[in-house]
Structure 1
Amino acid sequence: MMEISTEMIKQLRQATAAGISDCKKALENANGDYNKAVEFLREKGLATAAKRADRAASDGMLELYSHSQGRIGVMVEVNSETDFVGRSDKFRAFAHEIALQIAASAPDYIREEDIPAEDIERETRIATAKAKEEGKPDAIIPKIVEGSLSKFKDEKVLLRQKYIRDENMTVQQLLNDAIVSLGENVVIRRFVRWELGESTAEE
């Protein structure tokens, strides 16, 4: 059983607004896995952020960000439930942070479930072939492939990425914090990221 630290409990409490003992129990139940602990609290009806996640969010804003003297451009749509929250400084600051994250970390997808099946299949093939080339025993190849896929998702899925300002938290945790802080559901709906020279490299 993984040791549950006070910091882990604090992070989960900040993101979900659940009680300290509930957060500790959820983390113990999930063996320290943050996302599983959030899911556990959600199932028990204790996670404020998770409870709000099903509420419709269609207000908000389009955040536009230009980075590195115009070499990288990002447009991201972030939604709130009401125009009142969508116009607040706190919401706009969050949308700006998400644009910065996308500019710096170049994700391909917002959520894990957004990854097309063919992309997973491609990464599985690459990881399997690499493991075989390195002479890994067949019995451990599935575990190696699973680790490679997890790393791929951590790099390419926005919500799984480490937050650029704090490596100890993910963008999902940042989003959970925003939902609790703003008192509304917040959704990162879609984004585009352009980098100077991309189109010419493909031609």
Structure 2
Amino acid sequence: MAISASQVMELRRKTNAGMMDCKKALTEAEGDLDLAEEILRKKGIAKAGKKADRVAAEGTINAAVSADGKTAVLVEVSCETDFVAKNDNFQNFASEITQLALDCDGADNNVEAFLASQHPSGDSIEEVVKAKIAEVGENIVIRNVARFQTSEAGSLTSYLHMGGKVGVLVELVGDSVAVIDNDAVRTLAKDITLHIAAINPQGIAREDIPAEEVEKERAILADSDEVKSKPEQIRDKIVDGKINKFFAQICLLEQGFVKDPDTTVGKLVETTGKAAGGSLTVKRFVRFAVGG
């Protein structure tokens, strides 16, 4: 039977065994997670009461950008306690991991592929993490990895908030190199990362919001006492208006800019692009929050 990546990651989380060992055990157990764990324990690969069972709810988020500015990463490394999270040993390890992710093509939003990649020591990143767990005495998890690469007419900007408790990475793309190579555009990019850190949008535009989520919100609004108290012939228009407000709350381009709520982020992007001699687009962003 086919073993999914999510099954492998769940068994790895429970046992701290290597991914190939987990996949072999799951294949032998025909996908039975408990039986696969038992197989690993019998082989001495997994131990009861291991540190990997413990919740890693603290940690840090780091960012790194390549020398040419065209590749950037955001990495969340988690541990169990705030004490370890603030320790130089852990912070240095998180910085090392982030630099390795910057050079790893497989790290593009794929923790599993990154863990399987090779550390300069010759071991896998996963094995290096295991060694650090044994050293510090706490569970350590590389929880999230995002790696962006952009074009010549693109820019990548990162921001770390609250000492690495929140991290943001944004890609802006202009219709020419001249547009993106502009001081006002660079300032805008930094401002957008600050906005995302503070407001936490769920998508760039309306099309990024899952249709089922919109329909669920529409159904809730339609069934609300406020709407049902209105004449039936105007209820749909009232719901449409409320859905527009819903989008304005969660879509980046429709949100009021955090530094000037009277101006939307979309309008700010448009006017800044025009002032720079062309057009500007927010292509993508990612936001990590420790333990989130």
Normalising by structure 2, we get a TM-score of: 0.45
The structural deviation recorded for 1:143 is: 2.9
Question: Do the aligned partners of 1:179 and 1:186 also contact (CA within 8 Å) in 2?
Answer: yes
* Map of 2:248 onto structure 1: 154
Q: For the residues of structure 1 that align with 2:272 and 2:287, how far apart are their CA atoms?
A: 23
State the SS of the aligned residue for 2:159. strand
| Alignment equivalent of 1:166, drawn from 233, 252, 260 | 260
Aligned-CA RMSD value = 2.2
Q: For the residues of structure 2 that align with 1:58 and 1:109, how far apart are their CA atoms?
A: 24
The structural deviation recorded for 1:169 is: 1.0
What amino acid is the match of 1:99?
T
* Map of 1:77 onto structure 2: 171
Structure 1: which 5+ runs fail to align? 1-56, 199-203
* Map of 1:121 onto structure 2: 215
Structure 2: which 5+ runs fail to align? 1-150
* Map of 2:195 onto structure 1: 101
State the SS of the aligned residue for 1:70. coil
Q: Work out which structure has the larger RCO, using CA pairs closer than 8 Å and 6 or more positions apart in sequence.
A: 1
The structural deviation recorded for 1:79 is: 0.8
- CA change 1:133–1:178 in 2 (3 A) is closer
Question: Do the aligned partners of 2:182 and 2:276 also contact (CA within 8 Å) in 1?
Answer: no
Using the aligned pairs only, state the percent identity. 36
Q: For the residues of structure 2 that align with 1:114 and 1:131, how far apart are their CA atoms?
A: 29
Q: Are 2:236 and 1:145 aligned?
A: no
The structural deviation recorded for 1:149 is: 0.6
Q: Are 2:191 and 1:90 aligned?
A: no
* Map of 1:61 onto structure 2: 155
Question: Do the aligned partners of 1:106 and 1:193 also contact (CA within 8 Å) in 2?
Answer: yes
Number of aligned residue pairs: 142
> Which structure has the larger Rg?
2
State the SS of the aligned residue for 2:237. helix
Q: For the residues of structure 2 that align with 1:115 and 1:102, how far apart are their CA atoms?
A: 16
Question: Do the aligned partners of 1:58 and 1:80 also contact (CA within 8 Å) in 2?
Answer: no
Normalising by structure 1, we get a TM-score of: 0.62
Of Structure 1 and Structure 2, the greater helix share is in 1
The structural deviation recorded for 1:105 is: 1.2
